[in-house]
Amino acid sequence: MPKVTVPGHGSFEVQEGTKLVLALEDNGVNILHRCGGNARCTTCRVEVAEGDFGDLTPIEQQAFAAKGVTDELRLSCQVRVTGDVTVTPIMTVEKNNMDAGPRPSE
């Protein structure tokens, strides 16, 4: 099974094809997902240090453009884990003192 590593948190294995936002949340990383996984809020964005999620999808490009996010980030509600990755969530319940938001669909 692919391994997800979050610096400062640790590593865990997830079923191949798991949506990244759920892989994180279900393993104790309280990442925000304020729009419920609909590519609107960008609060689920992560920095990818290692691993590959393929090309930025058009829906991610649109979401980032709409929010003025220009860094090399991915929306964890729009990508799935298919191999080992190392990611850092940009916004979390603890860091931003906000409720995570509605749970994204599988």
Question: Residues in the site for ligand FES, rule: CB under 6 A?
Answer: 33-35, 37-44, 63, 75, 77, 104
Cβ-closest residue to ligand FES? 77
- Give the Cα separation of 12 and 38 in Å (integer): 25
Contacts of 55 (CB under 8 A, 6+ apart): none
Report yes or no: 76 and 87 within 8 Å, Cβ to Cβ: yes
CB of 81 to ligand FES, least distance (A): 15
CB of 11 to ligand FES, least distance (A): 23
As a whole number of angstroms, the longest Cα–Cα distance in the chain is: 35
CB of 101 to ligand FES, least distance (A): 7
> Based on CB atoms, which residue is closest to ligand FES, 14 or 24?
24
